[in-house]
Amino acid sequence: MFMKCFSFLLFGLLLALRSFAISPITGVTHLCVAGTTALAVATTGGIWVSSNTAVATVGTSGVVHGVVPGTSTITYFTSAGLATAMVTVNPLPVVFAVTGGGSYCADDSGVHIGLAGSQPGVNYLLFNGSSSSGPFAGTGLASDFGWQTAAGIYTVTGTIAATGCTVAMAGSTTVIINPMIMDSVSITNGVGDTICAGVVTTFAAVPVAGGSAPGFRWMVNGVNVGTDSINYTYAPVNGDIIQVTMTSNVACASADSVTGADTMTVFPNAFPVVAIVATPSLEVCKGFPAVLTVAPLYGGPSPTYTWNKDGVNVASGSSYTFVPVLGDTVYCTMMSDYRCRLADSAVSTTVSMIVDSPVTPYIAIIPSPGYVIAPGESDTLRAVVTNGGSHLTFEWVVNGTVVADDTSDTYISNTFAAPYPDSITCTVTGGGACRVSSYTWVYIVVSINALGTPAYSLSGDVLNVFPNPSNGMFSVKGSFGNGNSSEVQLEVSDMLGRIIYSNNAPVNAGQLNTGITLNNGEANPGLYILTVRSGTQSQVFHILVQ
């Protein structure tokens, strides 16, 4: 009521002073609702009045406040006169609620922020703190400002493009970035990945960041076993690959699903076994050491061994070295720590040592019917080995060519060349612990003579030794083509080169007929070498004492 009465009085005063004008009002006459503008006049001491205080009010200093959209006349009057100005109050943009926002995982694209509506002719700015993006033009529909990835509190302002009137939209929204959580799963069974055959085992999934209700899927060797429990129970076999796949329901898990695996080693249940391996063999030469070594089966990682010789425990460890004597018996007892053993110990078989005495092997080739054969006649050559041992093999060579596929002690041929002599050699391989593995070969010469005359000759001399083999008594007969009536020297040596017989025999009218007796007819069995020397020439015979 007071303002209305004041307005009437003021209006009457203005009518009374209408003919007295002062300097005009200056300043911006357009403002926004809730905005202000300052008006000024050169005259002082006056009063400011708004004609429509519902639209705009004016203070004593000339500051106009917009209230609602519309127009109002602002008058400044003094005793000297008055001045007026028309002020327009522009509306603010319509206020809409800010929408969207929230939290998202660090590896996602972000979250959307927008407005529940928008106004044509209004431009909107999106603020995250003091940083802004936009403007986004209003369309009359709800607005979406797109994906937002920066964390913070977001607000929106709207500005009418024509008037510049700006207002904050209703509310705000927050963007939170949640870090990624590494999820994983492993397998445990309480007994490890090595077990015995037939053991029923429970495998348990051990989740990391599985969430409140993770899902599980078990597979064995790539085949789904049809259970989604956190546990799976069965009896593995060797090489089985156990897998569990976990699907986590934790927010921001690094993977939708993760897999853990374990490979099982399953040992058979078995009795431990131990055997003995002899080096070089169970047959040794007298005075030489033998090395016995264990060959364990299911002994475990750290078995222990006890060696027993002739009923007495003599050593421990995986090998035993000793110098055996004939008849020694040895066995070994093994204490096993094999995981799946059916017994704690095993005893080897008892081995008996064979001890050989050092001997010298001899070899001789005995022809039958003899060293001299008739044309087309077959000759059978037999290699006789003394002190040769067992498991012998033979290689025959005729005139430098190996006879294929003949490894026996006998060679038979009717293809010897005439009239030239054939040279036959034999190499013997084998022997015992005290014998060399390959014996020195010996040779003979077989000649073909139409008259059956012995064919050992040097420069026309023909000699023969018979019987061969013998018990140590031999006859040497022959002729010398030059009629030599001088003496010849007879010398017999063993295979080691030691001379055991030496004598001279006369040659009468080119004929030699003499005898040789070795050690009074009691020579040791074996092969010997007879050398017959005549002047500067000599002939060599291999003679065998049986």
The per-residue pLDDT for 452 is: 34
Question: Cβ(93)–Cβ(160) under 8 Å?
Answer: yes
Q: Kindly report the length of the chain.
A: 546
Residue type, 513: N
Strand 111-115, strand 102-105: pairing: unpaired
DSSP per-residue string spanning 75-89: EEEETTEEEEEEEEE
DSSP per-residue string spanning 120-187: TTEEEEEEETTEEEEEEE--SS-EEEEEE-S-EEEEEEEEETTT--EEEPB--EEEEEEPPB--EEEE
Question: Cβ(95)–Cβ(167) under 8 Å?
Answer: yes
Domains and CATH numbers, the chain: 2-90 (2.60.40.1080), 98-178 (2.60.40), 184-267 (2.60.40.10), 273-356 (2.60.40.10), 362-448 (2.60.40.10), 456-545 (2.60.40.3080)
The per-residue pLDDT for 537 is: 73
Cα(153)–Cα(67) distance, integer angstroms: 31
Question: Which residue in 19, 18, 37, 92 sits closest to 50, CA to CA?
Answer: 37
Report the chain's C-alpha Rg in angstroms: 64
The per-residue pLDDT for 7 is: 46
Which residue matches tokens 């000297």?
80
Question: Which residue in 88, 27, 28 sits closest to 56, CA to CA?
Answer: 88
Which residue matches tokens 């004929």?
511
Cα(307)–Cα(460) distance, integer angstroms: 70
Cα(41)–Cα(18) distance, integer angstroms: 17
Cα(342)–Cα(345) distance, integer angstroms: 9
HSE of 134 in the Cβ direction (CA atoms, 13 Å)? 23
Return the sign of the alpha-carbon dihedral for residues 219, 225, 226, 227.
Answer: negative
Question: Which residue in 188, 179, 175, 187 sits closest to 250, CA to CA?
Answer: 179
Cα(217)–Cα(137) distance, integer angstroms: 52
The per-residue pLDDT for 418 is: 56
155, two tokens: 């607000």
Q: Report in angstroms the alpha-carbon separations of 429 from 30, 323, 483.
A: 130, 26, 45
Q: For every one of its 546 residues, what pLDDT tens digit does the chain have, with 9 covering 90 and above?
A: 444 444 444 444 444 444 457 889 898 999 999 999 999 998 888 999 999 999 999 999 999 999 999 999 999 999 889 999 999 999 999 999 999 999 999 989 999 999 999 999 999 999 999 999 999 999 999 999 999 999 999 999 999 999 999 999 999 999 999 999 999 999 999 888 999 999 999 999 999 999 989 999 999 999 999 778 899 999 999 999 999 999 999 989 988 899 999 999 999 999 999 999 998 888 888 888 999 999 999 999 999 999 999 999 999 999 999 999 988 999 999 999 999 999 999 999 999 998 887 766 667 777 787 766 777 778 888 888 777 766 788 888 888 788 888 888 888 887 776 555 677 888 887 666 676 555 555 555 565 554 333 334 444 456 778 777 788 888 888 777 655 557 888 899 887 778 889 999 888 877 888 888 888 766 788 778 888 887 767 778 888 887
CA torsion, ordered 48, 53, 55, 58, to nearest 10 deg: 30
Q: Report in angstroms the alpha-carbon separations of 174 from 97, 118, 422, 437.
A: 14, 20, 115, 96
Which residue matches tokens 């009137």?
165
3-state SS, residue 503:
strand
Cβ contacts of 368 within 8 Å, gap of 6 or more: 379, 380, 381, 382
Q: Give the largest Cα separation in the chain, rounded.
A: 200
Which residue matches tokens 């076993």?
225
Question: Which residue in 195, 319, 323 sits closest to 267, CA to CA?
Answer: 195
Question: Which residue in 100, 90, 233 sits closest to 161, CA to CA?
Answer: 90
Question: Which residue in 447, 380, 381 sits closest to 416, CA to CA?
Answer: 447
Cα(396)–Cα(390) distance, integer angstroms: 19
Cβ contacts of 238 within 8 Å, gap of 6 or more: 197, 264, 265, 266, 267
The β-bridge partners of 82 are: 21, 77
Instruction: Tell me the residue ranges of DSSP E strands in 348-460.
Output: 351-352, 354-356, 362-368, 372-373, 379-386, 393-398, 401-402, 410-413, 422-429, 438-448, 456-458
Cα(391)–Cα(430) distance, integer angstroms: 6
Give the global pTM. Answer: 0.51
CA torsion, ordered 394, 396, 397, 398, to nearest 10 deg: 170
